[in-house]
């Protein structure tokens, strides 16, 4: 098997057996990036020199008997993670060539465990989008069909794993940005519960919804990556001080006797036939594996899109106020005073979708409208949370589609923001409720595009979620399907 086709756990075995080295792995992935990325555009920055230096160091550490779980494993990061001395753009012009003076916590943890960072990945600007078409660095293309989007906002993170350009990646998920691109690119993606992974050093979009999580080839790799980055961090007051379980230790406990809920509100008109069929087959497989399937109800689902787009834009308008031309970013100043400098900088630096979100969010927070929009949305959010609490009294896990369709064509939805927002309908609620969720490959559409199934688990129930996912993966081989590049 080619080095770039190995999963993380296979790389770990080969590294331990001495049949490969961190340098060989890193060179193989850098070569693959060189050969494929002109087409895919998953990378904003490739860190070839730093990566090779880190790989040499990893090999030296291993030779000295100093082995960490990720020693020598090549990974890549969504360009929303601040990285010491490596340009961090958030796919926006406004950050210019920002060179952060520190590593965020998740990045620091990966480095401490020996991972080799091969580069920074394309995304929707400030993580706002569902197609990776809102990037100042051009769209990412889906490795399965380059006329299609990879999903967003972690489109680069999903495409990179799918195109075998790194062993695994980190993304962020505010309303589906890990799960939806994972589904569209045929890889595994996990959004941890709110508070499971530190957000320190992750450029903020909507702080009460944002979470960091892995995108990987398979479920075992997902458990490895989650274990590497999860945990309490004094630098993020919203991270939760709960022990991090050994996710690998319990991964193969199966689903016999588990109750899996199907929310009736998620099986709606507009769900593509291919998606419906893939989900039906998945449900049948879970039955075969001994799970009990139960219908559940999440009655406030119909308000999720509206609720999310008020909460997320309100928080975004506040978070993005810091890009004012004074700190971080490129300044546009024609000498007409401070207020003009702010406005010219922001007009030139932000893309259209980001401006739209800032305007929507500022409006929702403005006096006279605050109660009608923001406060109302917070109340609806509480109801959505309660729906899940009730459902989890009945079932261990909830199974739904990730998105209503497989990957759509580039340009197909860019002129209609509402259509774009509606593609998040199945993923947003997990963020509003703070629970964990995964996307797992479960089929291929008639047009040859991957389809994912979403599994949702209780807050801090990642171990059980991974178990449920692993049981399906062991019994099928969707995860080993690859695009031809
Ligand atoms: N597509 C959603 C949005 O545009 C979710 C993005 C995300 O999870 N970062 O807000």
Q: Find, among 450, 453, 442, 438, the residue nearest to 406 by Cα.
A: 450
Burial of residue 87, with CB atoms counted within 10 A of its CB: 0-12 exposed, 13-18 middle, 19 or more buried: middle
Q: Are 123 and 132 in contact, with CB atoms under 8 Å apart?
A: yes
* Residue 153 appears among annotated catalytic residues: yes
Q: How high is the mean pLDDT of the chain?
A: 96
The angle subtended at Cα 57 by Cα 7 and Cα 113, nearest 5°, is 55
Q: How far is the CA of 362 from the centre of ligand 1 (A)?
A: 18
Instruction: Please tell me the distance between residue 129's alpha carbon and the centre of ligand 1 in angstroms.
Output: 5
pLDDT band at 270 (very low <50, low <70, confident <90, very high): confident
Residues 6 or more apart whose CB falls under 8 angstroms from that of 35 comprise none
Q: Is 131 a catalytic residue?
A: no
Q: Hey, is 74 helix, strand or coil?
A: strand
Q: Which of the following is catalytic: 130, 157, 177, 198?
A: 177
pLDDT at 268: 77
Instruction: Report the C-alpha gap between 434 and 313 in whole angstroms.
Output: 17
Q: Classify 8-485 by CATH class.
A: alpha beta
The ligand 1 atom at the shortest distance from the C-alpha of residue 309 is 10
pLDDT (tens digit, 9 = 90+) per residue, 128-145?
A: 999 999 999 999 999 999
What is the spatial distance between Cα 482 and Cα 385, in angstroms, rounded to a whole number? 36
Structure tokens at 48: 């070839």
- Evaluated on CA atoms 162, 166, 170, 171, the torsion sign reads negative
pLDDT for 96-112, tens place per residue? Answer: 889 999 999 999 999 99
Burial bucket for residue 243 (CB in 10 Å: 0-12, 13-18, 19+): exposed
Ligand 1 binding pocket mutation candidate from 80, 124, 317 (most atoms within 8 A of CB): 124
> Pick the catalytic residue: 92, 130, 153, 198?
153
Q: What is the DSSP string of 198-237?
A: --TTB--SSTTT-EEEEEESSHHHHHHHHHHHBS--TT-T
The whole-number average pLDDT for the span 33-47 is: 98
Residue 60 is predicted with a pLDDT of 98
pLDDT at 334 over 80: yes
Report the atom number in ligand 1 closest to the C-alpha of 424.
Answer: 1
Q: What is the pLDDT of residues 67-86, one digit of tens each?
A: 999 999 999 999 999 999 99
Question: What is the pLDDT at residue 170?
Answer: 98
177 is catalytic: yes
User: What span, in angstroms and rounded, lies between the C-alpha atoms of 309 and 315?
Assistant: 10
Return the ligand 1 atom nearest residue 130 CA.
1
What is the average pLDDT across 173-180?
98
Atom of ligand 1 nearest to the CA of 428: 5
Which residues' Cβ are closer than 6 Å to ligand 1?
Answer: 127-130, 153, 173-177, 205, 312, 424
Note the pLDDT of residue 423: 85
SS3 453: strand
Q: Where do the structural domains in the chain lie, given as residue ranges?
A: 8-485
Q: What global pTM score does this model have?
A: 0.98
pLDDT in tens, 342-381: 999 999 999 999 999 999 999 999 999 999 999 999 999 9
In this structure, the residue with its CA closest to atom 5 of ligand 1 is: 175
Nearest alpha carbon, ligand 1 atom 4: 129
Q: Could you tell me which residues come within 8 angstroms of residue 135 by beta carbon, excluding any fewer than 6 positions away?
A: 91, 122, 123, 124, 125
Q: DSSP string spanning 362-429?
A: HHHHSTTTTIIIIIHHHHHHHHHHHHHHHHHHH-SEEEEESSSSSPPBTTSSTT-HHHHHHTTTTTHH
Could you give the angle at which helices 48-63 and 22-40 cross, rounded to 10 degrees?
A: 160
Distance from residue 16's CA to the centre of ligand 1 (Å): 39
Kindly state the average pLDDT of the residues 415-441: 93
pLDDT above 90 for 400: yes
Q: Percentage helix, strand, coil, to 5, in the chain?
A: 45, 15, 40
- Residue with the smallest CA separation from ligand 1 atom 10 is 128
What percent of the chain stands above pLDDT 90? 94
DSSP SS3 for 48: helix
Query: 3-state DSSP call for residue 305?
Result: helix
Residue 384 has pLDDT above 80, yes or no: yes
| CB-based contact 451:274 (threshold 8 Å) | yes
- pLDDT of residue 322 exceeding 80, the answer is yes
């Amino acid at each position: 098997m080619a080095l770039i086709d190995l999963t993380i756990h296979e790389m770990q075995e080969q590294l331990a057996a001495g049949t490969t080295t961190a340098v060989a792995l890193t060179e193989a992935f850098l070569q693959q990036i060189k050969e494929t990325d002109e087409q895919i555009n998953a990378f904003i920055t490739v860190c070839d020199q730093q990566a090779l230096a880190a790989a040499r160091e990893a090999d030296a550490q291993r030779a000295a008997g100093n082995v960490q779980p990720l020693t020598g494993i090549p990974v890549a990061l969504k360009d929303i993670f601040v990285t010491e001395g490596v340009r961090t753009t958030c796919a926006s012009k406004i950050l210019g060539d920002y060179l952060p003076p520190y590593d965020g916590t998740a990045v620091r943890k990966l480095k401490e465990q020996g991972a080799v960072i091969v580069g920074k990945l394309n995304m929707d600007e400030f993580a706002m989008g569902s197609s990776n078409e809102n990037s100042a660095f051009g769209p990412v293309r889906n490795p399965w069909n380059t006329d299609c989007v990879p999903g967003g906002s972690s489109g680069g993170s999903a495409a990179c794993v799918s195109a075998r350009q790194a062993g695994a990646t980190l993304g962020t998920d505010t309303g589906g940005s890990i799960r939806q691109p994972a589904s569209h690119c045929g890889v595994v993606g996990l959004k941890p519960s709110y508070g499971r992974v530190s957000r320190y050093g992750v450029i903020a979009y909507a702080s009460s919804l944002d979470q960091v999580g892995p995108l990987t080839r398979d479920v075992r790799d997902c458990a490895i990556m989650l274990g590497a980055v999860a945990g309490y961090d004094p630098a993020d007051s919203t991270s939760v001080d709960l022990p991090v379980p050994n996710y690998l230790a319990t991964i193969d406990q199966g689903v016999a006797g588990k109750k899996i809920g199907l929310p009736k509100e998620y099986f709606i008109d507009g769900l593509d036939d291919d998606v419906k069929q893939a989900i039906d087959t998945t449900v049948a497989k879970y039955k075969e594996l001994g799970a009990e399937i139960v219908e559940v109800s999440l009655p406030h689902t119909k308000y999720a899109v509206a609720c999310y787009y008020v909460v997320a834009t309100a928080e975004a308008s506040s978070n993005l106020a810091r890009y004012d031309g004074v700190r971080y970013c490129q300044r546009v100043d024609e000498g007409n005073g401070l207020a003009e400098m702010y406005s010219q900088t922001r007009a030139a630096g932000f893309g259209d979708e980001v401006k739209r979100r800032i305007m929507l969010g500022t409006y929702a927070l403005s006096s006279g409208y605050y109660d009608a929009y923001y406060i109302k949305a917070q109340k609806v959010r509480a109801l959505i949370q309660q729906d899940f609490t009730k459902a989890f009294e009945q079932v261990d896990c909830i199974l739904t589609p990730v998105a209503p369709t497989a990957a759509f064509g580039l340009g197909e939805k860019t002129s209609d923001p509402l259509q774009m927002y509606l593609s998040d309908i199945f993923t947003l609620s997990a963020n509003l409720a703070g629970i964990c969720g995964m996307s797992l490959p479960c089929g291929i559409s008639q047009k040859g595009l991957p389809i994912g199934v979403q599994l949702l688990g209780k807050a801090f129930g990642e171990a059980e979620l991974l178990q449920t996912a692993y049981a399906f993966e062991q019994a099928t081989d969707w995860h080993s399907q690859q695009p031809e590049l």
